[in-house]
Each structure stands twice: as structure tokens, then as C-alpha cells.
């Protein structure tokens, strides 16, 4: 009888397990070859051999899952770098509307409501300066005014200028209430700024008591801010000059520092008298005071130099003589009107007299002081007789006015001392 003995020891069992493990094989789901389990790659409840995996599958760079090459997607990372991801991970990436490639957020050049453009395609596109939409270079419109590109709609809107022609003169709307008909109209010139369209649009959209005009003395990047006639109090408290000036400064516009810009103040003639004779008499008093105080007070107050004063706001004079009577001087005012508009006191307008002496400014206190100057000096000439004008002192008018801004300005300009 043959006896067979089985070794049931632990050592024997381990040896048999090693043999079984070594011989444990699985089938590749693609090529159906048998491969060692330890060399197989698990995929979708099955296995792949290394050869099939290398040829037909990839590992998603984001989530690490295995997917067929046919279901994978290439994502551009810029600078010739790419990553391969599965379909589920692809949703987190953008797609360039121009080249069709998927891209990371770092490779997005621009995006609007309709398209996304990658950095590689950006050389063919521009961004509209106004609406920020993406525009192909074939359809973008370039503005030499501000060196920017626009879509067609925004470009057309820009050509609808908010700056009126120089001859534009709407029917005046009187702002504020004045029993004595003391209304001031302002022309403030600004120049050499940027964003001309957006600046002028913002001013016209937000300030109902002004309008804008072209002026031949300014460059193409300048304009004139014109107010409707308003009381001094309305100018100071309601019209909005502080914000108007801030908008201009924020966009690089200049006034005082632009050699071309001035500040002109119109005063209603009706304030100076009930008829033309009375008005001309008070105008004569103004001209005489300007003539007497020109070098020492008027020119320094204006902040202009002598050359620009001579060009834009020349010294007014009636060429009166000691034997002139009051009617003689009034008649000389009529002659003065024919001398042209480029005088410090311009009489070419039918309903106003224009004070042209002031240099432009975007400093609110200086602006206010200029308006107050007009009010103070015209009130003074109305209050005194013609003979008193020939002996009146600067301090009689401006020694201590009721206006804080004007007093401070006179002090800053050293114009508070007595006339010699």
C-alpha cells in the first residue's frame, strides 16, 4: 500500500501561496492577452496591459482617472505647454472663440458676454474702450483723439459730440431769484485733457445748467463750459462747480496751466441801470477804475501776464480829459463799443457786459473770488457818482468785502495794501 503524506505546516502553505500568486493572471479587456495581475492596469472593472494602455489611454492631469484617448481633451496652458484632461474635468476650462482650443484661466486674454479669446489669438482683437466688448481688428474703429479702439456702435455714439459749435447760443434760463437782476453767466475754458468724449458726456448728463462749446483759442482737446445766467448764490451753492472742476481735473484737463484758457464772466446789463444811458454811465465808471488800477491791481488780480492780457483782454480806456462832462464820457462809451471784443471789459454783447480779464482756473476758491470781484466792483460803481470814481481808492472797494473767498484771494495775491 502506498502512503502519501501532505506537509500541512505553515511554511508549506506559504510556498504554495507564492506559486499561486506568481501564476495569477488576468485578461486584457482590449487585446484579450493573459497578463500577470501585478503587471495589469485596472480600468473600468477590468484590466489593461501596458501596451494597450500606452497606445489608447491617458491619465487625466486633473483628477487622475484613466480615460480612452478618444475621450480626452487637450488644454492649452500658454507658452507651448499643454495638459490632457478627461471630459468631466474639461468643464472647468474656457474655450477660445477664435481658435477653438480649451485654455486655462491664466491663458484667457479677454472675455465678454459673447466670446472668450486666448492670449495666442489676442493680436487679432481689440477691446472697446467704452463698452469693453471684444472686437475683431477688421471691425474695430480707431480714434486718434484718444488713441483708443472702439466697436462700431460706440464709435458712432462718440461722433455725436456733446460740444456745440462756437456760435451756439440757447435761450437763457435764469437760475435763482434776483430782484435787482444781478445774474452772472460764466465761460470757463479747459484744455489739453484726455477722454474728451466721456468727460463731456458726463458733464452734459449730470449738470443741467451748463452747456459746452468749441472755442477757437483752444486745442482740439479743449472746450468751453458755459453756464446759464445765475445769481451768485446759485453759482456757489447749486450749480455744481466743485464737481464740474473735479471731473475736468480727473481727466487731465487744465485751465490755469493751459496758456490758452481763460475765465469770462458776463453780467446782465439790466443790473447796471434802468435804461441805456444809466447803464453806459456805470460802465464808464468801471472802465475808468480799470484804467486807473490796471498795472497795480487789475493785472495781478487776473493772474494773467501782460502779454496775454494785451492779446485777449486789453486795457480798457475812454481817453477822457479833465474838461469832459458826464454826457461826454457816456458818449465815449458808445465809441468804446466799436473797439472790438478783446478788451478786459467787452461791450459787444447786447444784453451783458463781459469781464474777460481772468485767467482760467480749476481751483474753486479762485473761481468764486473772481465772480465775487465782479459783483463787488459793479455794486460799487452803482453806489457812487462819476466824480467820486476819479479819487476812489482800491481799499474803498476791496478793503474788506463781505465775501470770505474774495478776501482770502486778495490776501494771497498781496492786493490788500492801500494804493499809493
Residue whose C-alpha cell is 456733446: 162
Query: Who wins on pLDDT, 206 or 30?
Result: 206
User: What kind and span of H or E run contains 102?
Assistant: strand 102-103
User: What's the mean pLDDT when you consider all of the chain?
Assistant: 88
What is the spatial distance between Cα 386 and Cα 132, in angstroms, rounded to a whole number? 64
What is the spatial distance between Cα 319 and Cα 291, in angstroms, rounded to a whole number? 9
Strands (E), 139-282: 141-143, 148-150, 163-164, 184-190, 210-213, 223-227, 262-268
Q: Does 339 have pLDDT greater than 50?
A: yes
How far from 96 is each of 79, 108, 128, 240, CA to CA, in Å?
Answer: 15, 8, 19, 47
Counted residue by residue, the chain has a size of: 420
Q: What is the pLDDT of residue 31?
A: 85
Q: Which CATH architecture has domain 164-412?
A: 2-Layer Sandwich (3.30)
pLDDT tens for 91-133 read 788 888 998 888 888 888 999 998 999 988 999 999 999 899 9
pLDDT tens for 122-160 read 999 999 998 999 999 999 999 877 789 999 888 877 776
Q: Which residues pair with 141 in a beta bridge?
A: 150
Q: Are strands 223-227 and 210-213 parallel, antiparallel or unpaired?
A: antiparallel
* Domain range annotation of the chain: 23-57, 73-156, 164-412
Confidence of residue 45 (pLDDT cuts 50, 70, 90): confident
What is the spatial distance between Cα 377 and Cα 397, in angstroms, rounded to a whole number? 7
C-alpha torsion angle, residues 391, 369, 169, 217 (rounded to 10)? 90
Burial of 147 (0-12, 13-18, 19+ CB in 10 A): exposed
pLDDT tens for 380-400 read 999 999 999 999 999 999 999
CB 133 within 8 A of CB 150: no
What is the spatial distance between Cα 298 and Cα 303, in angstroms, rounded to a whole number? 9
Burial of 161 (0-12, 13-18, 19+ CB in 10 A): middle
Q: What is the pLDDT of residue 275?
A: 94
What is the spatial distance between Cα 283 and Cα 420, in angstroms, rounded to a whole number? 25
Asked whether this chain's domains 23-57 and 164-412 adopt the same fold, the reply is no
pLDDT tens for 271-284 read 999 999 999 999 99
In 3D space, the residue among 177, 149, 186, 168 whose CA is nearest the CA of residue 354 turns out to be 186
Q: Which CATH architecture has domain 23-57?
A: 2-Layer Sandwich (3.30)
Three-class DSSP category at 238 = coil
CB 225 within 8 A of CB 188: yes
Amino acid at each position: 500500500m502506498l502512503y502519501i503524506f501532505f506537509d500541512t505546516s505553515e511554511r508549506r502553505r506559504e510556498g504554495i501561496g507564492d506559486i499561486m500568486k506568481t501564476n495569477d493572471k488576468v485578461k486584457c479587456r482590449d487585446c484579450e492577452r493573459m497578463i500577470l495581475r501585478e503587471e495589469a492596469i485596472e480600468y473600468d472593472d477590468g484590466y489593461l496591459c501596458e501596451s494597450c494602455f500606452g497606445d489608447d489611454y491617458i491619465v487625466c492631469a486633473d483628477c487622475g482617472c484613466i480615460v480612452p484617448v478618444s475621450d480626452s481633451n487637450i488644454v492649452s496652458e500658454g507658452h507651448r505647454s499643454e495638459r490632457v484632461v478627461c471630459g468631466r474635468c474639461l468643464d472647468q476650462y474656457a474655450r477660445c472663440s477664435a481658435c477653438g482650443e480649451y485654455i486655462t484661466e491664466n491663458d484667457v486674454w479677454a472675455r465678454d458676454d459673447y466670446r472668450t479669446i486666448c492670449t495666442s489669438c489676442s493680436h487679432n482683437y481689440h477691446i472697446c474702450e467704452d463698452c469693453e466688448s471684444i472686437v475683431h481688428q477688421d471691425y474695430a474703429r480707431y480714434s486718434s483723439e484718444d488713441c483708443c479702439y472702439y466697436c462700431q456702435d460706440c464709435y458712432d455714439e462718440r461722433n455725436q459730440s456733446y460740444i456745440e459749435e462756437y456760435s451756439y447760443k440757447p435761450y437763457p434760463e435764469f437760475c435763482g431769484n434776483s430782484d435787482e437782476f444781478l445774474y452772472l453767466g460764466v465761460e470757463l475754458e479747459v484744455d489739453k485733457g484726455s477722454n474728451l468724449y466721456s468727460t463731456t458726456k458726463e458733464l452734459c448728463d449730470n449738470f443741467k445748467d451748463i452747456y459746452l462749446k468749441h472755442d477757437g483759442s483752444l486745442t482740439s482737446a479743449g472746450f468751453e463750459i458755459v453756464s446759464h445766467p445765475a445769481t451768485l448764490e446759485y453759482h456757489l451753492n447749486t450749480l455744481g462747480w466743485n464737481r464740474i472742476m473735479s471731473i475736468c481735473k480727473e481727466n487731465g484737463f487744465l485751465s490755469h496751466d493751459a496758456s490758452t484758457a481763460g475765465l469770462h464772466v458776463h453780467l446782465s446789463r439790466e443790473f447796471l441801470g434802468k435804461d441805456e444811458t444809466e447803464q453806459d454811465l456805470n460802465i464808464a465808471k468801471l472802465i475808468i477804475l480799470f484804467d486807473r488800477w490796471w498795472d497795480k491791481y487789475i493785472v495781478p488780480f487776473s493772474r494773467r501776464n501782460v502779454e496775454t492780457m494785451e492779446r485777449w483782454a486789453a486795457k480798457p480806456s475812454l481817453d477822457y480829459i479833465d474838461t469832459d462832462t458826464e454826457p461826454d464820457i457816456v458818449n465815449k462809451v458808445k465809441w468804446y463799443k466799436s473797439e472790438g471784443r478783446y478788451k478786459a471789459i467787452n461791450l459787444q454783447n447786447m444784453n451783458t457786459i463781459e469781464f474777460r480779464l481772468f485767467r482760467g482756473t480749476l481751483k474753486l476758491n479762485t473761481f468764486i473770488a473772481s465772480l465775487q470781484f465782479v459783483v463787488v466792483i459793479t455794486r460799487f460803481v452803482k453806489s457812487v457818482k462819476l466824480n467820486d470814481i476819479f479819487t476812489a481808492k482800491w481799499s474803498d472797494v476791496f478793503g474788506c468785502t463781505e465775501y470770505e473767498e474774495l478776501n482770502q484771494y486778495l490776501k494771497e495775491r498781496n492786493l490788500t495794501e492801500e494804493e499809493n
